[in-house]
Amino acid sequence: MSFGAPNNPYGQPQNPQQGQPGYGYPQQGQPGYQQAPQGVPPQQGYGYPQQPGYPQQGGYGYPQQGYGAMPPYANWGWRVLSRLIDSIVLGIPYILVVVGGAKSIPALVIVGLLVVIGLFIYQIVQEGRTGQTIGKKVVGTRTLKEDTGQPIGAGMAFVRQLAHFLDSLPCYLGYLWPAWDAKRQTFADKVCGTIVIRSN
């Protein structure tokens, strides 16, 4: 007596519909088989479903393809106006506190210097993070890295301020250079690889 015989109580019963041992689902073409209705998408596997991709956002000055054109360069007049506003922001506390308090209260000189230094650092950090000083924010311009269109960072903003020394040589020609330069750059901009654009 073999263990696979039908009359063997220990053998595995044969499934007459499938021709295989008694487990599994009915196969196609056999009784009990139901085909999935048309239009029902197949089920995904057990892995995590893939998330749809999101387009990479461009920088302030250079939107990626399909997001619009590059904003125009800031002309010489807008650059001079923003520079003038920044000079006033730093000059007012210096004149009121440092110069005015030097004769009466010498302690105000120290306070005034700290205020001026604090404003200067604030301007550097803001231009590095957002591309805008107080003056640039008022007139609607922004300093960006030329090759990426992103803000230049506080470190490069400080280096750019030091590089403005080149604009004063010779005879402040670098400050006048944006008036006819194709990219409206000063000498400092060309050395640091920066541009100034209109942001609004």
Tell me the pLDDT of the chain (200 aa) as tens digits: 444 445 555 555 554 444 444 445 555 665 655 565 565 555 555 444 444 444 444 445 454 433 346 789 999 999 999 999 999 998 887 777 766 666 666 777 777 788 889 999 999 999 999 999 999 999 999 999 999 999 999 999 999 999 999 999 888 999 999 999 999 999 999 999 999 999 86
Question: Is residue 113 in some structural domain?
Answer: yes
- φ, ψ for residue 17, nearest 5 deg: -80, -35
Q: Indicate whether 121 belongs to any domain.
A: yes
Could you tell me whether strands 194-198 and 141-145 are parallel, antiparallel, or unpaired per DSSP bridges? Answer: antiparallel
What is residue 28's predicted lDDT score, i.e. its pLDDT? 60
Domain total of the chain = 1
Domain that holds residue 120: 76-198
The whole-number pLDDT of residue 99 equals: 65
What pLDDT score was predicted for residue 107? 72
Note whether residue 153 is domain-resident: yes
Q: Is residue 146 part of a domain?
A: yes
pTM for this entry: 0.62
**Domain-embedded: residue 93:** yes
Q: What CA–CA distances, in Å, run from 52 to 20, 49, 94?
A: 43, 9, 55
Task: Answer whether residue 20 is part of any domain.
Answer: no
Residue 18 lies in a domain: no
Output the pLDDT for position 55: 42
Residue 37 lies in a domain: no
Partners of 73 in beta bridges? 197
Q: Which of 37, 35, 44 is nearest to 27 (CA)?
A: 35
Q: Report the distance separating Cα 166 and Cα 191, nearest Å.
A: 9
Check residue 96 and give its pLDDT: 74
In order, the DSSP letters of the chain are --TTSTT-TTSPPB-TTTSSBS-SPPPTTSTT--PPPTTPPPPP-SSPPPPPP-PPP--SS-PPTTS-PPPPBP-HHHHHHHHHHHHHHHHHHIIIIIIHHHHH-THHHHHHHHHHHHHHHHHHHHHHHHS--HHHHHHTEEEEETTT-S--HHHHHHHHHHHGGGGGTTTTHHHHGGGT-TT---HHHHHHTEEEEE--
The position carrying tokens 């604030």 is 122
Per-residue pLDDT at 153: 96
